[in-house]
Amino acid sequence: MAPTRLHPLTLALLVLASSVPWSRGATPVPEKLLPASTLAVVTVPDVNRARTAFDLNPGFRLMQDPAMKPIVDKFLAKWRTDVVAKLEQQFSIKFGDYAGLAQGQVTLAWMMSPPPPGKEEPKLSSLLLLDAGTNSAQLKTTLESLRKKWVDGGHQVKVEKIRGLEFTALIMNSSDIEKVFDKVFPPKKEEEEPKGRGKGKDRDGKKEAPERYEWLVGQSDSLLLFGNSAADIEKVLSIQAGGGGSTLSELPAFAGDVPSVIRDSQVYLWVNLQEIVKVGKKLLAAGEGRAKRPGDNSPDPAALIDSSGLGALRSLAYSQHTTAEGSSYDLRISVPESERKGIIKMLAFPAKEASPPPFVPSDVLSFSRSRLDLSKAFDTLEATIIGMFPSSSSVIKMVMESAGKDKDPNFDLRKSLFSNLGDDSINYTKAPKERTLAALGNPPSVHLIAAKDPEQLANAVKVLVSQFGPQTTKKDREFQGKKIFSVSLPGSQRPVSIASSGGYLVVSDDDAALEEYLRSSDRKSPPLRDALGLSQDAGKVRGMGTGLFGYVNGLESARLQFEALRKESGSVANLLGALPIGARLGFDEDTKAFKEWVDLSLLPPFDQVSQYFNHTVWGGVFSPDAFELRFFEPVPPKLKK
């Protein structure tokens, strides 16, 4: 389908949303309720406001259209009977009891707890928060019913007091969870186990003790708390009661992401990358200390993280904003400019013009342009590799000095190729002639790389390709005075053609698309840059002068996908059948099993639902503090009021 309009994280959290009017209680917003030790959080801060935006989303409106009702109803009916009903039976609960509770936030957070007794590694804990607002009494009744049903279902429970509040510990072990999964998704046959070893046994064939899980669930005022760490729950309760303790909102890394990403979002994800990297380095150092032997001079894995540049990462923030104008999706990776090195420094690009050049036609399916200086990027990569692995210096030098010499004694790989690269990379795709899923997955594409001497760069590529051996098929031809070198590499689906023109090295896997570019000066069709509304929409992603800009024709992409999906239900079934969950559902043996879930023949003709699709623009920028990427999908014209 066209680019996703509602992120899966939104769907996962809104499944708990209420349809009743929202009323804010005394429960603080997520970042002022969670402790500063939070590693990651995904939240819908205000379910009611998010639901309003959800209703505006074209993707959701598409699913509500009468033309989509047959296929949507068929899937939902199968989902309820084959998954939801079975889970409810196994866990002795009714998910519907919780569907109408949320009136404020729905938050899922992860923290790092101290290592369990006898363990060296810290434990990752999880915590779900749900603000029931004026449904507080209903929440209490629901939790009482949960405990009774859990016991009646033969499961263990125990009661635990946390800051004077009663919490119920729902107890299961790993074998219980495996049984539940096997009943919901029955295996066709047991996987073959090594001799002497069976399910639930270690390498020596001895029976492994099942791991015990305790999930605490309880209520504080209107707040539902569900987690596997009493210490984390206690921190939240203390903050809620005004008992002190630093909160996530006070963390500098989080506060830095609020203005541009988190503020006023309907859903956001935040990850403390700095802390995760720190924990990772400790674990690597501990493992290295146990495994390293005297005289072992191999690089320190923890030090490699810093050398690669990953040590400069601070945080990752993602959010979604939907308004009457359209939907924006923001990603921000905080990494201070003064600390960038290695891979991070290599990927940084300056703010330069990245708009579609005149030769890019308006009928492309996608377009992207980056102003990354590839020559400098390669130099940085080379220095990073040598810094991380000093012994690689001689290997790199040998490759640079010897590559291609057997074909041309004067060939200089560094000068002809890497130092010849420019600071402009362009890619666009066209609609394939064949309307199949396979063709849509690999559409005709044109790649352009700016070069100081494009012909020299093309010859360098030609020399390198000749190193692949006798299985490589090569062919030279001319088109409108331009030399084209085509090569078919072993395993490649289509031959790749290479030419130089207009200051670029041009690479394409489709002759028609390549020739269209080479005669673009004669083309009478309008260029993409003149497309109606493109400049205005680009303003929503900081314009086209940030060094990275892209465009996706969601309307035409969806049209092609609808046509292919209606004809190729079997291909989709085979694709999903290759996945473990698909095999459990029987998709790998019988396409009819897939049709019981999703009958793609029920998809309506695209013209009946085309009003829900539009184009998407996106842009990226490196600021002094972070890398920021934003997508914007304007409301389709036919849906505007």
pLDDT digits (tens, 9 = 90+) for 603-616: 999 999 999 999 99
Residues 6+ apart with CB under 8 A from 173: 210, 211, 212, 213
Please list, in sequence order, all residues whose beta carbon lies within 8 angstroms of the beta carbon of residue 233, skipping any fewer than 6 positions away: 127, 162, 167, 216, 218, 225, 227
Instruction: Work out the number of other CB atoms within 10 angstroms of the CB of residue 412.
Output: 18
Q: Measured between alpha carbons, how far is 361 from 102 in angstroms, rounded to an integer?
A: 48
CB-based contact 467:403 (threshold 8 Å)? yes
What is the structure's pLDDT at 191?
47
167 vs 180: which has the higher pLDDT: 167
| 170 vs 18 pLDDT, higher one | 170
Are 599 and 531 a contacting pair, CB within 8 Å? no
Query: Which H or E run contains 98?
Result: helix 96-99
Paired strand residues for 366 = 429, 552
263 or 121: which carries more pLDDT confidence? Answer: 263
pLDDT recorded at residue 212: 84
Query: 331: Cβ–Cβ under 8 A, 6 or more apart, which residues?
Result: 261, 316, 317, 318, 628, 629, 630
C-alpha separations of 141 from 68, 136, 218, 381, 490 in Å: 37, 9, 11, 60, 65
The residue assigned the tokens 């009702």 is 69
Query: Are the C-beta atoms of 635 and 614 separated by less than 8 Å?
Result: yes
pLDDT-derived band of residue 254, with 50, 70 and 90 as boundaries?
Answer: very high
* Strand (E) or helix (H) holding 463: helix 454-465
Start-to-end CA distance of the chain, whole Å, equals 24
Amino acid at 536: Q
The two counts, helices (H) then strands (E), for the chain are 24, 20
The predicted pLDDT at position 15 comes to 41
297 pLDDT band, cuts 50/70/90, is: low
Chain-centre distance of CA 546, in angstroms? 23
What is the reported pLDDT for 1? 41
Task: Give me the residues paired with residue 601 across strands.
Answer: none
The whole-angstrom separation of Cα 288 and Cα 198 is 31
CA distance 157 to 96: 22
CA–CA distance, 596 with 602 (Å, rounded to integer): 12
With cut-offs at 50, 70 and 90, classify the pLDDT of residue 24.
very low
Residue 306's pLDDT is 87
Per DSSP, helices labelled H in 153-294 are 174-184, 230-240, 252-257, 273-291
- DSSP result, 365-429: SEEEEE---HHHHHHHHHHHHHHH-TTHHHHHHHHHHHTTTTT-TT--HHHHTGGGEEEEEEEEE
* pLDDT value at residue 302: 79
Query: What is the DSSP secondary structure assignment for residue 249, as one 8-state letter?
Result: G
3-class secondary structure, 78: helix
With b for 16 or more beta-carbon neighbours within 10 A and e for fewer, the 537-559 pattern comes to bbebbbbbebbbbbbbbbbbbbb
SS3 content of the chain, % helix, strand, coil (to 5): 45, 25, 35
Angle between helices 374-388 and 301-308 (to 10 degrees): 160
Tokens standing for residue 224: 């539902």
Q: Cβ neighbours of residue 368 under 8 Å, at least 6 residues apart? A: 426, 427, 428, 548, 549, 550, 551
Question: How large is the average pLDDT for residues 102-109?
Answer: 94
| For residue 490, pLDDT beyond 80 | no
Copy the structure tokens of residue 55. 């209703």
Quick: pLDDT tens for 157-169.
Answer: 999 999 999 999 9
Which runs of E-coded beta strand occur in 66-178?
A: 106-113, 123-131, 156-162, 165-173
Domain boundaries, given as residue ranges, for the chain: 8-187+210-250, 372-526, 563-610
Q: What percentage of residues in the chain have a pLDDT greater than 70?
A: 87
Cβ(271)–Cβ(251) below 8 Å: no
Is the pLDDT at 14 greater than 50? The verdict is no
pLDDT at res. 292:
57
φ and ψ of 100, to 5 deg: -100, 15
Give the residue, 293 or 255, on which the prediction is more confident.
Answer: 255
C-alpha to C-alpha distances, 366 to 7, 52, 537, 542, 567, nearest whole angstrom: 20, 30, 15, 19, 24
pLDDT above 80 for 210: no
For residue 397, what pLDDT is reported? 92
Mean pLDDT of 516-521: 87
**pLDDT score for 197:** 42
Is the pLDDT score of 365 beyond 70? yes
CB-CB neighbours of 351 under 10 Å:
15
pLDDT of residue 287: 66
**Spatial CA neighbour of 357 closest among 193, 503, 141, 529:** 529
Question: What pLDDT band is residue 71 in, cutting at 50, 70 and 90?
Answer: very high
> Mean pLDDT in the chain?
86
pLDDT of 10 reads 43
Among candidate residues 16, 76, 27, the one with its CA nearest the CA of residue 51: 16
Residue type, 285: A
Q: How confident is the model at residue 293 (pLDDT cuts 50, 70, 90)?
A: low
What pLDDT sits at residue 445?
96
- What is the pLDDT at residue 480? 87
Least reliable range by pLDDT among 62-76, 412-426, 576-590: 576-590
Q: Is 620 exposed, middle or buried (0-12, 13-18, 19+ CB in 10 A)?
A: buried
CB 512 within 8 A of CB 340: no
pLDDT of amino acid 641? 63
Predicted local distance difference test score (pLDDT) of residue 94: 81
The pLDDT score that the predictor gives to residue 37 is 92
Kindly tell me if the per-residue pLDDT of 115 is higher than 70.
no
Q: What's the average model confidence in pLDDT over 335-353? A: 96
What percent of the chain is predicted at pLDDT more than 90?
57
Decide which of 636 and 403 is more confident.
636
| Dist. CA 190–CA 379, nearest whole Å | 52
Q: What is the pLDDT of residue 17?
A: 39
327 vs 5, 166, 320, 389, 614, CA distance in Å? 7, 42, 7, 45, 11
pLDDT at 120 (0 to 100): 63
Whole-number Å distance between alpha carbons of 43 and 128 = 10
Half-sphere exposure of residue 290: CA atoms within 13 angstroms, side-chain side: 6
Supply the pLDDT for residue 16: 40
Of 102, 109, 183, 98, whose CA–CA distance to 142 is shortest? 98
Residues in CB range of 408: below 8 A, 6 or more apart: 463
**pLDDT of 23 over the 90 cut:** no
Radius of gyration in angstroms for the set of CA atoms belonging to the chain, rounded to a whole number: 28
Q: At what angle do helices 569-577 and 554-567 cross, to 10 degrees?
A: 90
The contacts of residue 134 (CB under 8 Å, 6+ apart) are: 23, 25, 103, 222
Of 15-29, 34-48, 270-284, the range with the lowest mean pLDDT is 15-29
